Amino acid sequence: MKNYTRMDILRSAKENFVKFVRLQFTDMLGTLKNVEIPIGNLEKALSNEVMFDGSSIQGFVRIDEADMYLYPDLSTWLILEWENIPSGKVARLICDIYTTEHVPFDGDPRFILKRNLKAMEALGFEKFNVGVEPEFFLFKLDEKGKPTMEFSDMGGYFDLSPIDGSEDVRRDIVLELEKMGFQMEVSHHEVAFGQHEINFTYDNALEACDNIQTFKLVVKNVARRHGYYATFMPKPVEGINGSGMHTNCSLQDAQGNNVFYDPEDEKQLSVTARKFIAGIMKHAREFGLVANSTVNSYKRLVPGFEAPCYISWSDANRSTMIRIPAARGKATRIEIRSVDSSSNPYLAMSAILASGLDGIRSDLKAVDSIKKNLFKMSPLELKRYNITNLPENLKEAVEEFSTSSLMKEAIGEFLFGKLIEAKTAEWNEYKTKVTAFELEKYLPII
């Protein structure tokens, strides 16, 4: 994060021949939105004077209270190198949403995360560090520019060209992100045909969520430039692995120490880390709605495709929901494997943080880690180990979320109710659909 001043931004815009600025924000469902202004209105935007109609954005306000203000976060100033236009360049500022009374809007996902980070600081922690591993599919576009279901390549895990025919797409994505200041780590082909993963360095939760939104935008635009459609849909194709967004997180104190690390512990995990894990496990079913936010999310969370479906943890076992990667010391972290990229990152990180902090506040004790392959355990064995399922569908996730006092507190009463309303409507729409599966299975025999 850079500490830009107003003058820094005006100077940068002039020196880089910026002609348009995108004022970006995120709606309730995690979709990135924007209001674009010509460069002549940049000073007005930096004075928090640009308004927009919030009544048209899902999860925002009613039509009779539509006007809202965009307050740019100056640290998010960025020249969008991949979006050059003939007359100059395009830049962006990520904004917080304020009401006409000039107070933060309760339904702004970014504000909700900020509020949860303040609760963390009140407990004596300085940072909630987050690093994600977003997976996505590339499908070919047809002659009209519409996505097909034809894979971009026939590669598999860690394959390279010519089997991996999308190597150049990933490289271009990495290069564009590096131009924008991202610290890139690795990119590689994933397990399924046309499936890919690109990782960038962890950051404080707010900056990490901003980066996730920017990353998804760049991936989609660079893919289109190559004649592909990029999708972060959790399970676009049945019978193969879905796409997740494994979320690595840790807490840091004011002295810069990773408070999850304890060199004296058998697993080198601190008591704080174990309490945080216990909080995540206690509330996992409750935050499923914001970690896995669509009907399609639950098609991924099934046995046999490397996605977790059971609430458990381990230091090595990849069939568990929580895994502890091997790195220790400053890199000690917990990896939550259930999250997918259909989620609103600001809300997902808010719910995860609130759950972990509840484990610390309540002095919860984590159950023993599990070494067995959960996918090979019988229902009786799972019951013996007191291992429960994550929600199996969106309806179940809505029910768990709606009864959670912690989620209501973490998300805030306004958006809590809006989410329940929107996702109940999504489930009701889904359950009325007659699918190809039903026609194929029942039409010939009934």
Per-residue pLDDT in tens (0 to 9) along the chain, 446 residues: 678 999 999 999 999 999 999 999 999 999 999 999 999 999 999 999 999 887 666 655 554 457 899 999 999 999 998 887 888 999 999 999 999 999 999 999 999 999 999 999 999 999 999 999 999 999 999 998 899 999 888 887 776 676 667 889 999 999 999 998 899 999 888 889 899 999 999 999 999 999 999 999 999 999 999 999 999 999 999 999 999 999 999 999 999 999 999 999 989 999 999 999 999 999 999 999 999 999 999 999 998 888 999 999 988 777 889 999 988 888 999 999 999 999 999 999 999 999 999 999 999 998 888 888 888 888 888 888 888 999 999 999 999 999 999 999 999 999 999 999 999 999 999 999 999 999 999 999 99
How far apart are the C-alpha atoms of 290 and 398, rounded to whole Å? Answer: 10
- pTM (2 d.p.): 0.95
Active-site residue, 135 included: yes
CB contact at 8 A, 346 and 128: no
- 153, 203, 210, 335: the catalytic one is 335
Active-site residue, 318 included: yes
- 318, 392, 413, 429: the catalytic one is 318
CB contact at 8 A, 301 and 308: yes
- 27, 108, 133, 153: the catalytic one is 133
Active-site residue, 337 included: yes
- How high is the pLDDT of residue 63? 46
- 22, 196, 285, 337: the catalytic one is 337
Q: Nearest Cα to 222, choosing from 119, 80, 340, 92?
A: 80
Q: Nearest Cα to 17, choosing from 85, 76, 72?
A: 85
Q: Is the bond preceding 162 in cis, omega lying within 30 degrees of 0?
A: yes
Active-site residue, 266 included: no
- 22, 115, 170, 246: the catalytic one is 246
- 159, 164, 197, 358: the catalytic one is 197
Structure tokens at 28: 């309730």
- Contact partners, residue 405, CB within 8 Å, separation at least 6: none
How far apart are the C-alpha atoms of 283 and 73, rounded to whole Å? Answer: 32
How far apart are the C-alpha atoms of 185 and 245, rounded to whole Å? Answer: 15
How far apart are the C-alpha atoms of 439 and 202, rounded to whole Å? Answer: 46
Active-site residue, 335 included: yes
Active-site residue, 53 included: yes
- How high is the pLDDT of residue 304? 81
Structure tokens at 58: 């899902």
DSSP letter for each residue of 187-221:
EEE-SSTTEEEEEE--EEHHHHHHHHHHHHHHHHH
Q: DSSP 3-state assignment of 31?
A: coil
Please enumerate, as own/partner, the contacts of 35-43 that have beta carbons within 8 Å and a separation of 24 or more: 35/70, 39/13, 39/88, 42/9, 42/10, 42/13, 42/18, 43/10
Active-site residue, 197 included: yes
CB contact at 8 A, 223 and 232: no
- 135, 167, 176, 210: the catalytic one is 135
- How high is the pLDDT of residue 319? 82
- How high is the pLDDT of residue 119? 97
Please name the amino acid found at residue 176: E
CB contact at 8 A, 390 and 286: no
Q: DSSP 3-state assignment of 282?
A: helix
Structure tokens at 51: 């308004």
- How high is the pLDDT of residue 161? 72
- How high is the pLDDT of residue 270? 96
